[in-house]
């Protein structure tokens, strides 16, 4: 065990307190003011150069420690509009106004509170043990990952001009799996995603006289069903495509046929060709339903968010995996294939023009996960990210996450030469 980890055990009680505090006080995308304040305060106390308000609510810490490589470490800070159902004593009871002005429950249902805590733990180790490494660490606490806008907002705000440009960007994500197990994904790691808004226009009228109206609710219902054929009838079996209608809004009263209906559609793809085909099919179906219904105008299709696929640079991935294997031992790092979930992490490496690596680590009690696996009940007994029941076990999840982030950075940072002081 490298000497940089000697202080970790003494830090864990405070990190556990921090994690529970963050979990109990989640904030939506671009609203992470309290979280950013906590992060900035801790980094300042550790001796980092701290800049707040980057890309809105982002925080960047810089720790210079002599000549050597520049390594960027990233954690996302935002939570989701989900009502927590874990029953934990530190469960969130927070509500907030979303970007549409609607009050919604808020929960850290994707583990970003774990990510922030683990990166702050790694930052504490680097600050306390400067004699163990040399170079520069840039810690990025990013807002608005869930909206897909946070990474680009930080880049647009001069992330790579205002701060040292890295040689590699590193990040991690907690998920369903036994705590203590890590996963590498060389190459294509996570799919691209698109969020679309489709407005269908009808002609409002009385529910007793549908013949005098054009019903957009019926159009929307038909379109929801038709969209499912994109995967089942227009996508080759070897291609991974997911099309989800996550929201449908229309009308205010049972006896009134509304004038409009709006669908929120999410698309996941692994290749540009598949994406182009899916997007064209959505437009074709929406226009065809409107035409078939005799709608007074064509539908309005607006892109709300577009995220590229997350691609891990293979050589950098193996370098990080080797560091993890050496630290945690044989059998602790497994290889996974691409995931249809999406992230904006890859934007950072792409915009900087440097390799980036995102790895995964488990957050479940190993015995509970094993029991569910052996009973073939993973889907039923192990909550996934974004579930109202999702809550990583505190330990050893935090300890593993801190060590994994630190070890990955050390794989790039130059070792301190004997007899040379920081």
Residue range 3-190+309-410 forms a domain whose CATH class is alpha beta
- Does 206 appear as a known binding residue? no
- Does 386 appear as a known binding residue? yes
Structure tokens at 218: 């019926």
- Which secondary structure element, helix H or strand E, spans residue 139, and what is its range? strand 135-142
Predicted confidence (pLDDT) per residue in 33-82, tens digit: 999 999 999 999 999 999 999 999 999 999 999 999 999 999 999 999 99
Q: Which one of the listed residues 32, 84, 132, 146 is annotated catalytic? A: 146
The domain ranges of the chain are: 3-190+309-410, 192-307
Distances (CA, A) of 280 to 28, 206, 247: 32, 34, 20
Q: In what side-by-side order are the strands of the sheet with 260-269?
A: 241-250, 260-269, 192-201, 300-307
What is the DSSP secondary structure assignment for residue 167, as one 8-state letter?
A: S
* pLDDT value of position 239: 86
- Does 173 appear as a known binding residue? yes
Predicted confidence (pLDDT) per residue in 274-311, tens digit: 999 999 999 999 999 999 999 999 999 999 988 889 99
- In the predicted model, residues of the chain with pLDDT beneath 70 are 416-422
Q: Give yes or no: 76 in active site.
A: yes
Q: Which one of the listed residues 32, 76, 78, 289 is annotated catalytic? A: 76
CB-based burial label for 251 (10 Å; 0-12, 13-18, 19+): middle
* pLDDT value of position 422: 43
CA-to-CA distance for 410 and 80, rounded, in angstroms?
Answer: 32
Strand partners, 80: 107
* pLDDT value of position 417: 57
CA-to-CA distance for 257 and 207, rounded, in angstroms?
Answer: 6
CA-to-CA distance for 310 and 335, rounded, in angstroms?
Answer: 16
The conformational region for residue 67 under phi > 0 = left, psi -120 to 50 = alpha, else beta, is beta
Does domain 192-307 fall into CATH 3.30.1180.10? no
Q: Contact, 192 vs 308, CB < 8 A? A: yes
* pLDDT value of position 415: 80
* pLDDT value of position 421: 47
Q: Are strands 168-178 and 356-364 parallel, antiparallel or unpaired?
A: parallel
* pLDDT value of position 16: 98
Distances (CA, A) of 181 to 110, 174, 337: 18, 10, 16
Residues contacting 270, CB < 8 A, separation 6+: 188, 191, 192, 239, 240, 241, 309, 338, 340
Q: Contact, 356 vs 345, CB < 8 A? A: yes
CA-to-CA distance for 302 and 124, rounded, in angstroms?
Answer: 44
Q: Give yes or no: 276 in active site.
A: no
* pLDDT value of position 416: 61
Write down the pTM of the prediction: 0.90
What is the residue-wise DSSP string for 227-281? HTHHHHHHS-TTS-EEEEEEEEEE-SSTTEE-SEEEEEEEEEESSHHHHHHHHHH
Q: Contact, 198 vs 282, CB < 8 A? A: yes
- Does 132 appear as a known binding residue? no
* pLDDT value of position 414: 78
């Amino acid at each position: 065990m490298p000497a940089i980890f000697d202080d970790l055990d003494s830090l864990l009680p405070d990190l556990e307190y921090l994690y529970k505090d963050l979990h109990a006080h989640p904030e939506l995308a671009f609203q992470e003011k309290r979280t950013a304040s906590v992060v900035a305060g801790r980094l300042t106390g550790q001796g980092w150069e701290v800049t707040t308000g980057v890309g809105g609510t982002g925080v960047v810490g810089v720790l210079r420690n002599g000549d050597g490589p520049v390594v960027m470490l990233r954690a996302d800070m935002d939570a989701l509009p989900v009502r927590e159902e874990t029953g934990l004593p530190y469960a969130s009871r927070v509500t907030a106004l979303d970007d549409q002005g609607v009050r919604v429950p808020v929960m850290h249902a994707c583990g970003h509170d774990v990510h922030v805590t683990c990166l702050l733990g790694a930052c504490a180790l680097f600050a306390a043990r400067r004699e163990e490494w040399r170079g520069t660490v840039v810690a990025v606490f990013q807002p608005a990952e869930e909206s897909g806008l946070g990474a680009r907002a930080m880049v647009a705000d001069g992330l790579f001009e205002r701060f040292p440009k890295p040689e590699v960007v590193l990040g991690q994500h907690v998920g369903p799996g036994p705590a203590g197990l890590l996963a590498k994904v060389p190459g294509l790691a996570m799919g691209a995603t698109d969020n679309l808004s489709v407005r269908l226009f009808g002609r409002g009228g009385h529910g007793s006289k549908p013949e005098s109206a054009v019903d957009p609710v019926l159009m929307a219902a038909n379109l929801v069903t038709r969209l499912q054929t994109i995967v089942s009838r227009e996508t080759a079996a070897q291609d991974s495509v997911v099309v989800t209608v996550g929201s449908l809004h229309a009308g205010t009263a049972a006896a009134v046929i509304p004038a409009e209906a709006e669908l929120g559609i999410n698309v996941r793809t692994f290749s540009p060709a598949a994406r182009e085909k899916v997007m064209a099919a959505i437009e074709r179906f929406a226009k065809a339903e409107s035409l078939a219904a005799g709608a007074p105008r064509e539908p309005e299709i607006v892109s709300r968010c577009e995220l590229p696929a997350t691609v891990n640079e293979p050589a950098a991935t193996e370098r990080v995996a080797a560091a993890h294997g050496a630290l945690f031992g044989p059998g602790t790092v497994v290889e996974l294939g691409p995931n249809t979930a999406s992230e904006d992490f890859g934007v950072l490496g792409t915009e900087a023009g440097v390799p980036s690596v995102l790895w995964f680590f488990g957050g479940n009690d190993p015995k509970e996960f094993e029991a569910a696996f052996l009973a073939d009940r993973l889907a039923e007994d192990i909550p996934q990210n974004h579930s109202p029941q999702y809550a990583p076990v505190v330990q050893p999840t935090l300890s593993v996450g801190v060590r994994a982030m630190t070890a990955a950075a050390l794989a790039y940072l130059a070792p301190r030469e004997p007899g040379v002081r920081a």
